[in-house]
A and B are shown apart, each in its own frame.
Chain A
Amino acid sequence: MSRTLLLFAWRDLVRRPWQSGLMLLGVVLGVAVMVSIDVANVSARRGFSLSTEAVVGRATHRIEGGPSGVPEAFYVQLRTLGWQDTAPIVEGIAIAPDLQDRPLRLLGIDLFSDAVIRPTFGLDAWTQAGAERFFLEPDAVIIPAGLAREGGLLPGDRFRLFLGNRVADLSILGVWTPPENDPSEALDDVVWMDIAAAQELTGTTGRLTRIDLIAARDDVPGIAALLPPGVSLVPASQQAETVRQLSDAFQLNLTALSLLALMVGMFLIYNSTMFHVVQRRQILATLGVLGAESGQIARLILGEAAAVATVGAVLGLPFGWALGQTAVRLVTQTINDFYFTLSVRQAPLEPATAAKAVAIALGAALLAAAGPALEAARIPPVAAFQRSDLEERASRGVGRAAGAGLASLAAGALLLAAAQRSLALSLGGMFGVLVGLALMVPLSSRILLLGLVRLLPRLRASRLRWGLRSVVRSLSRTSVALAALMVALAVTIGLGTMIASFRQAVDDWLDLTLRADVYVSSPLGSGSQPRGDISPEWESRLGSVPGVARVEPFRAAQVATEFGPARISAVDSYRIRDARLYRSSSGTAEEVWNELRQGSVLVSESFLQKHGLRFPMPPLTLTTDRGPRSFSVAAVFYDYSSEVGTVMMTQEVYHQFWSDRWLSSLGVFLAPQASFEDVARGVRNVLAGTGLHVTTLGDVRQRALAIFDRSFEVTSALRLLSVLVAGVGMMSALLALQLERAREVATLQVLGMTPRELGAQILLENGIMGVLAALLSVPTGLLLAWILTKVINLRSFGWAIPWSPGLEPIAIALGLSLLAAWAAGLYPWWRVSRAPIAERLRAD
């Protein structure tokens, strides 16, 4: 390529610093968003698989029981029968109050058998002086070096853990340093204890949480034949797989969102490149006259786009990484709230992520620039000097884009309908709809504006009319940016509406389910997962507090169903639940509850959805401590607390089939004349020193909603970022337009327009653009919200949410849109009043 031609391209980029800068900024932001989500997802995933690896070790299977686990005698039986590669585990979730309430996993292990399954300690550990205390002292723990560093803890220090309804005062016997080249960060949230001590601490003497084992395929039948009732042998990967799938849905949603941000960024590159070409039509045509081949010109355009994309991507990487640090915190928090305990200590920028981001940015930029490049190569030198030719081409493009849009819309709708339960396909369908509507923006905006122009003579608002005309004329240049902004705003409205609808649904549901005045729970229930065990004796102890009318016990536990794991909610049988709690039922609320009292169960909507079931359904088989049992299903109830699906039954039924007597929480109802303060104080006094939380109805509700809001923080942040990207795009388009009109504006000044009047005109025109984008985005956004609530959410989480559009997201979209449009007018306005008119008249 000719050196002068390259020089021309370079000078051109430098000569338009604002446009080039904004184009660059668009790429930087798009890449940063994509990278940040990728960093967060990859780190969370790596954290997950590290912790899985670290915990599962070489185990191929695990033997697990119902809520009360596996009898330890079974482990002894296995060992004495010669099953060597088995390791018993007593696991508890604990909270470290001195480490910012950090959730920790208490792992009760047998040092010797564990060494066979996991490389954590090895047999060497026990030969060291001091190791004997691990067995002897019921309060001795070993903590990982990461945790020790974080808490400033040293061997010999004491530290406290909240466990269920007790506070354990533990002594740090040792600090475990992971082997070199293995950061083992996944184990930073683990506290090891001797299995006997862990049994005593968690009140599960005689029981094990599970037995990990290495078993060849041939061994499985032999072991399975030995299993006592309620105990099952499952592949080690199964549980990991279940949680992985759950969080995959969450992460897929995030990835889709980040791709959206990138898509908006690509619109931006396309728009900027197109603008760049259109503005230089004459120069490019002159190059053609001078003998530049069309291929050379096309390569020049593509080269420019590639250069900007590369620089933008490289600059975007560190920002993406930095954003990723925040994103990973939010993602981890949500995973901890809803799925499992995960600690991600490091979120490095993986080379793969960086390469992917640069490649996608580069590819998309080239793709985006391909159209303009072809366009530039095809400009007949004569036509280049006529604006009308450009306009004609533009209006032909409008029709074609609308046609393509319609096709994409139809394809998206078809995909949505055909996707069944596949989340990825559903997201693809949603993208199809969105892209389709975006492609129709040039046509719909034209129709909208021309309609307004027709209406306006009667209004005699000539400035407005002039502004509208101006906007219509500029659509050939701005419609791509308009479409990008429309998409971003629609996503904002869509997600905003979805979140608001969701929140409303959760709020209503909390109203239905939270009825007690005071709740007693373990401090571990930080997320939606009730964790930690409360001794059943508290039911009667709390009942004797003066002013307490009734105490409702509640137990949540994990059980195996014929369809896979589910959560059991064992509730009191006394209080008949509200009919609105049921999505479908076999009778009235009273009839349903009577069936429940007689041994039926209820299943949650998410359970139904997750397993593709329909109500009424045949009896459900649950693995009980007495072996598999069938339960008839009386109704389907709404439940936003678990994605795994919940099975509800009465405490009586639960106790009949399971030996677990622990409680997860207790609801305290006040007597009619009792004073709330007195009872709350009474309950607190009774519970003093236990570490149990006493929360009022309002607090519980607030906390639930706070978790809800927290889990959507990433989404909200992403949605704002994509609006930011689109805003930058809109700004760059409008700015370019204004700069292109520099001479026109100068002419107006010669004609006697004051800077103030011109400023008002710029604001008016940009304002029209902003309002237009907002107007176009409202129906798209609401449609998006509908798809999100009715399709995507249902398919990712199994929760159907009523679609309830509100004004707030729309108002926010309008505000953001106007902000972007007006921000784009600031520099031109500043120029109008500063730079000498004569200079601008001469400018090209």
Chain B
Amino acid sequence: MTPFVELRHVAKSYPQGGSTRAVLRPTDFSFEGGKFYAIRGRSGSGKSTLLNLIAGIDEPTSGEVRLDGVSLRRMSASERAVFRRHQVGFIFQFFHLIPTLTVVENVRLPLELAGVSGPQADAEARERLRRVGLEGRADANPDRLSGGEQQRVAIARALANRPRLLLADEPTGNLDQATGDAVLDMLEGRVREERATLILVTHSRAVAARSDHVIVIQDGRLAPVGRIRRGGAAAER
């Protein structure tokens, strides 16, 4: 199987004081399509940076990120945006809902960006909300929702265009156990049912346990730590 996400000598460093701090050392890595990857590591180890680089919202200091065989480096800002709108769903730890839009409008936004016309987009958005169990709050303002509800809206928004790549940055970090599990079920469902690729950053061992691959970032390098069977226990060192 061809890798869906491919890192070629990708490195990232930030200026710090007079020198630079390497967050990612030159790394080669491939993420296969249709798999659930869990990324783990200490705070500041570069987990979010990796996700941002894959989403094309940050640029590597060297090397290139290839998505579905195409180098992000070759794309313009607009092309990357268009790619994201169709192929990538991004879920943030702090939800990042648009406060000036209602719940349903937040979900409708990516649909409309992808060219779905008004009424159809509205219908589809409501359907997505129904699936996350929030059809009743469709016309509310996001800041009237609880954290779990907000994250479910964020997921509905991320999944609106049936993206082939799901990027989630600590999606359950701010949620209680039960809500977190429900959110994870939704994301994992996409991988299993629609063969999407999910790359999920987490601190939680339990969350990582549900993934196909666990990757640890340590000293700026990616290290696969084992294969997780579906529903099975972690085979971790």
Q: Interface residues, chain A, CB within 8 Å of chain B?
A: 386-388, 460, 462, 466, 469-470, 473-474, 743-744, 746-757, 833, 836-839, 841
Contact = CB atoms under 8 A, between A and B. Distances in A.
Contact of A836 (B59, B83, B96, B101): B59
B57 A755 contact: no
A747 B84 contact: no
Contacts of B144: 388
B105 A751 contact: no
Given A387-B99, A469-B100, A752-B110, A841 B57 contact: yes
B99 A833 contact: no
Contacts of A754: 77-78, 81-82
A833 B101 CA distance: 23
Contacts of A474: 100
A753 B108 CA distance: 13
19 contacts: A386-B143, A387-B143, A466-B101, A466-B105, A470-B100, A744-B96, A744-B99, A747-B92, A747-B98, A752-B86, A753-B113, A754-B78, A756-B78, A757-B81, A833-B77, A836-B58, A836-B59, A837-B57, A841-B52
B10 interface: no
Contacts of A749: 57, 81
B90 interface: yes
A412 B149 CA distance: 52
Contact of A753 (B55, B81, B99, B118): B81
A838 B52 contact: yes
Nearest to A840: B57
B113 A751 contact: yes
B166 to A, nearest CB: 13
Interface string B50-88: 001001011100000000000000000110011111101
Nearest to B160: A751
B99 A755 contact: no
B85 A746 contact: no
Contacts of B59: 836
Contacts, number: 84
A748 B112 CA distance: 12
Contact of A750 (B49, B55, B82): B55
A755 B84 contact: no
B77 A462 contact: no
B81 A755 contact: yes
B99 A751 contact: no
Contacts of B90: 750-751
A748 B98 contact: yes
Interface string B192-216: 0000000000000000000000000
A752 B105 contact: no
B157 interface: yes
B100 A752 contact: no
Nearest to B56: A837
A648 to B, nearest CB: 67
A748 B57 CA distance: 11
A747 B158 CA distance: 11
Interface string B142-162: 011000000000000100010
B57 A750 contact: yes
A750 B99 CA distance: 16
A469 B118 CA distance: 17
A743 B113 CA distance: 19
B109 interface: yes
B145 to A, nearest CB: 12
B78 A755 contact: yes
Interface in B103-140: 105, 108-110, 112-114, 118
Given A749-B81, A837-B58, 17 more contacts: A387-B99, A462-B112, A466-B100, A746-B57, A747-B98, A750-B90, A751-B85, A751-B90, A752-B82, A752-B84, A752-B88, A752-B114, A753-B81, A753-B85, A754-B78, A756-B78, A837-B52
Q: Which of A387, A470, A744, A841 has the most CB of B within 10 A?
A: A841
Nearest to B91: A750
B181 to A, nearest CB: 25
A838 B58 contact: yes
A750 B81 CA distance: 7
